[in-house]
Amino acid sequence: MRILVTGGAGFIGANFLNLLVPRHREHQFVNLDALTYAANPRSLDPVASLPNYAFERADLCDFSGLRAVFARHQPEVVVHFAAESHVDRSIAGPRAFVRTNVEGTFNLLEACRELWTPGQGLFHHVSTDEVFGSLGATGRFDEETRYDPSSPYSASKAASDHLVRAWHRTFGLPVRVSNCSNNYGPLQFPEKLIPLMILNLLERKPLPVYGQGLNVRDWLYVEDHCEAIWAIIGAGQNGRTYNIGGRSEQRNIDVVKQLCHLVAEETGTPEAELLGLICYVSDRPGHDLRYAIDSSRIEAELAWKPRESFASGLRKTVRWYLANRAWIDSVRTGEYRRWIEQNYGSR
Ligand code: NAD
Ligand code: TYD
């Protein structure tokens, strides 16, 4: 199969390619990525020279460039990861989110419709549980939960999900959608909670917890997410949605405390010194209280379940960041420092 992956230089896309390109030499993988601030070409070092891997720098919002890539590679499967993905950035500047997540997804759907005859091809859309909005203390999101997004990020992802389903119903495009909970693991850009806290811990910087740290996220190790997507591509049904989650709900403050414990253990630092770095800062506007996923559909229909526990995945993640200082240095550019100043300077 010829498989085109968008956003393959970002966190989840790179983990997906690093996992699957070496395992599936019978398939050709093309990584289409605009290389925004969130991308790091170094993340693809393990696959860059493999014969079944190719890279194309292109912006989803440039339709003629996109068509040229489609004409060159004639993909049979498209796995759509590319997006603007950080909620706080979507609050600071929503325009890029509407541009890439809505217009970019639209362009990609149109490129597929042009290339594929009706019923041909497969478009897998990678989305988030944040489209469902916030849960209270109980309940879980299933595939029938009503969309109710809170942030510009989640609203733009909701819009893209609707476009994908509309292209299926109206034009017969073979699509599958997955809505996944929060991912963590190697190669995650250190603007998101877990890598940001690990890096701050390593430098003994304050650990900025929004509000009271009582918001709950359902954490999934990134490779478990990638395996779920691969299972859906292999054996899912067209037009169907799959929720993917880790059955691993954690309050933010508890995640931060576990990270203090792990970094203390791994680096031989007194834990009390690291716990002393925790500071509570002003809350995110529109901050969803709780996410939790009911992934019984994918578990029952595709025999998928997460392999990693939160404890083992978090330890692996801490060890990865400790062992990969060069990767960290390569993403902490001037742009990164500007974002940290903008987001945390006045909190
Ligand atoms: P990321 O921000 O780490 O990477 C996004 C990638 O997309 C980058 O390589 C970037 O260069 C590329 N990109 C951005 N705009 C582009 C454009 N206009 N054209 C081409 N490429 C462009 O994101 P991630 O965390 O890897 O998330 C990947 C996907 O998974 C997203 O669609 C996101 O909504 C979804 N998702 C993420 C999580 C999570 O916890 N990170 C959870 C569920 C779903
Ligand atoms: P994040 O990793 O940005 O993912 P999302 O907002 O998509 O769930 O944030 C995870 C949780 O951690 C969220 O409730 C916000 C919180 N958070 C902090 O408390 N401090 C921080 O510095 C960051 C980045 C996030």
**Domains parsed from the chain with CATH numbers:** 2-344 (3.40.50.720)
- Mutation to probe ligand 1, out of 4, 5, 6, 11 (largest number of atoms < 8 A from CB): 11
Residues 186 and 324 sit within 8 Å (Cβ to Cβ): yes
Looking at residue 95, its pLDDT comes to 98
61's tokens: 């919002």
Amino acid found at 294: D
Task: Quote the CA–CA distance of 159 and 105 in Å, as a whole number.
Answer: 9
Return the ligand number nearest the Cα of 190.
2
SS3 186: coil
Binned at pLDDT 50, 70 and 90, residue 218 comes out as: very high
Average pLDDT over residues 294-302: 98
Average pLDDT over residues 260-266: 98
Looking at residue 135, its pLDDT comes to 97
Percent of the chain with pLDDT over 70: 100
Average pLDDT over residues 46-66: 98
**Active site residue ranges:** 129-130, 153
220 lines ligand 2 (CB under 6 A): no
Looking at residue 346, its pLDDT comes to 83
Residues 31 and 43 sit within 8 Å (Cβ to Cβ): no
Q: Which residues line ligand 1 (CB under 6 A)?
A: 6-7, 9-13, 33-36, 38-39, 59-61, 81-85, 100, 104, 126-128, 157, 180, 182-183, 189
Task: Quote the CA–CA distance of 128 and 154 in Å, as a whole number.
Answer: 8
Average pLDDT over residues 15-25: 98
Looking at residue 90, its pLDDT comes to 98
Q: Which of 188, 180, 166, 185 is nearest to 229 (CA)?
A: 180
Looking at residue 336, its pLDDT comes to 85
Percent of the chain with pLDDT over 90: 95
Looking at residue 163, its pLDDT comes to 98
Task: Quote the CA–CA distance of 232 and 230 in Å, as a whole number.
Answer: 5
Angle between helices 310-323 and 193-202 (to 10 degrees): 50
Within the chain, what is the greatest distance between any pair of CA atoms? 62
pLDDT of 113 higher than 90: yes
Task: Quote the CA–CA distance of 83 and 105 in Å, as a whole number.
Answer: 9
280 lines ligand 2 (CB under 6 A): no
Average pLDDT over residues 176-193: 98
pLDDT of 21 higher than 90: yes
Return the ligand number nearest the Cα of 187.
1
Nearest CA to ligand 1 atom 37: 128
Query: Which ligand 1 atom is at minimum distance from the Cα of 15?
Result: 26
Query: Which ligand 2 atom is at minimum distance from the Cα of 153?
Result: 7
Return the ligand number nearest the Cα of 37.
1
Binned at pLDDT 50, 70 and 90, residue 335 comes out as: confident
Binned at pLDDT 50, 70 and 90, residue 334 comes out as: confident
Residues 202 and 263 sit within 8 Å (Cβ to Cβ): yes
pTM: 0.98
